[in-house]
């Protein structure tokens, strides 16, 4: 509300990703954050799923615009869309239903503000910036914004100087994470094409999608994976030159 009333003063801007997503819940519980990619005759889907309580999980369904149009989701009710998604992901849901809570199809909004404060008003979290759900850092960023703001207010007796300090110290950190989020989102904008890759190439492409993990870091984190990936790459190279 504060930002909307002073959009020009905050230098507010917004753009949208082309992919469509709908946010559901389910009684199927998943031990960890995981994903399911499904190819259908009309297009490709991806689901991000993770447990958020002992008996419930988030189940976020995503597809590219071409798939969304092919299924005619624009003319479907929330219940009709939910039924289609339940059929697409029947194997991973294991008979559990999807639960809707105003689960409309949306495009992810990229929010940014050139100025983080105006007079005695200051923005944090999603009101200030958005980070794509594929890196799972939205809540973390908001909490860290609040911590940075408190520290700046404690360090400076003058509020304008404190707010300037908050922005100067926090903005570079946020920009780095938002850049990674945008890079990750770009990967998802093209996930149907990535699904055509061989298994190990797909896995490597997915893990390195945000640019925060390169081969050297991945080799240190997961040497067995990199050994399998590099062995598969050598086999593919040998076949191509045979």
Mean pLDDT of 221-236: 90
Q: Are residues 19 and 97 in the same domain?
A: yes
pLDDT digits (tens, 9 = 90+) for 155-198: 999 999 999 999 999 999 999 988 888 899 999 999 999 999 99
Please check whether residues 133 and 214 belong to one and the same domain: no
At 87, list the tokens. 């059929």
Q: Which of 170, 188, 206 is the last residue of a domain?
A: 188
User: Distance (Å, rounded) from C-alpha 217 to C-alpha 226?
Assistant: 10
Q: Quick check: 235 pLDDT over 90? A: no
Q: Residues 6, 124: one domain?
A: yes
Q: Are residues 170 and 53 in the same domain?
A: no
Three-class SS of 173-215: HHHHHHHHHHHHHHHHHCHHHHCCCCHHHHHHHHHCCCCCCCH
Q: What is the pLDDT of residue 132?
A: 80
Provide the whole-model pTM. 0.85
Q: Average pLDDT in the 96-109 region? A: 95
Q: What is the pLDDT of residue 229?
A: 93
DSSP state, residue 32: S
The CA distances from residue 117 to 32, 148, 149, 220, in Å, are 37, 14, 11, 41
SS (H, E, C) 60-91: EEEECHHHHHHCCHHHCCHHHHHHHHHHHCHH
Tokens representing 101 are: 């809570």
Number of domains in the chain: 3
* Residue where the block lists tokens 């594929």: 134
> What's the whole-number mean pLDDT along residues 99-114?
95
CATH code, domain with 72: 3.30.9.20
pLDDT digits (tens, 9 = 90+) for 11-65: 999 999 999 999 999 999 998 889 999 999 999 999 999 999 999 999 999 999 9
Domain that holds residue 94: 13-107
**Same domain for 94 and 125:** no
Together in a domain, 49 and 120:
no
19 and 103 fall within a common domain: yes
Quick one: 13 exposed, middle or buried, by C-beta within 10 A (0-12, 13-18, 19+)? Answer: exposed
């Amino acid at each position: 509300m504060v930002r909307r009333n002073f959009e020009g003063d905050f230098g507010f801007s917004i753009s949208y990703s082309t992919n469509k997503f709908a946010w559901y819940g389910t009684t199927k519980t998943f031990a960890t954050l995981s994903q399911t990619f499904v190819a259908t005759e009309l297009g490709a889907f991806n689901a991000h799923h993770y447990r958020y309580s002992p008996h419930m999980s988030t189940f976020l369904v995503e597809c590219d615009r071409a798939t969304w149009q092919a299924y005619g989701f624009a003319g479907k009710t929330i219940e009709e869309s939910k039924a289609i998604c339940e059929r697409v992901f029947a194997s991973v849901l294991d008979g559990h239903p999807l639960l809707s809570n105003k689960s409309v199809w949306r495009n992810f909004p990229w929010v940014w503000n050139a100025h983080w404060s105006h007079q005695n008003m200051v923005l944090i979290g999603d009101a200030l910036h958005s980070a794509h759900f594929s890196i799972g850092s939205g809540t973390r960023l908001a909490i860290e914004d609040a911590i940075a703001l408190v520290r700046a207010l404690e360090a400076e007796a003058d509020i304008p100087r404190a707010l300037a300090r908050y922005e100067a110290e926090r903005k570079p950190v946020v920009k780095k994470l938002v850049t990674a989020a945008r890079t990750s989102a770009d990967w998802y904008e093209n996930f149907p094409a990535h699904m055509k890759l061989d298994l190990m190439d797909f896995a490597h492409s997915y893990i390195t999608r945000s640019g925060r993990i390169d081969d050297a870091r991945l080799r240190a984190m997961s040497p067995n994976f990199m050994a399998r990936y590099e062995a598969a790459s050598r086999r593919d190279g040998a076949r191509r030159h045979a």
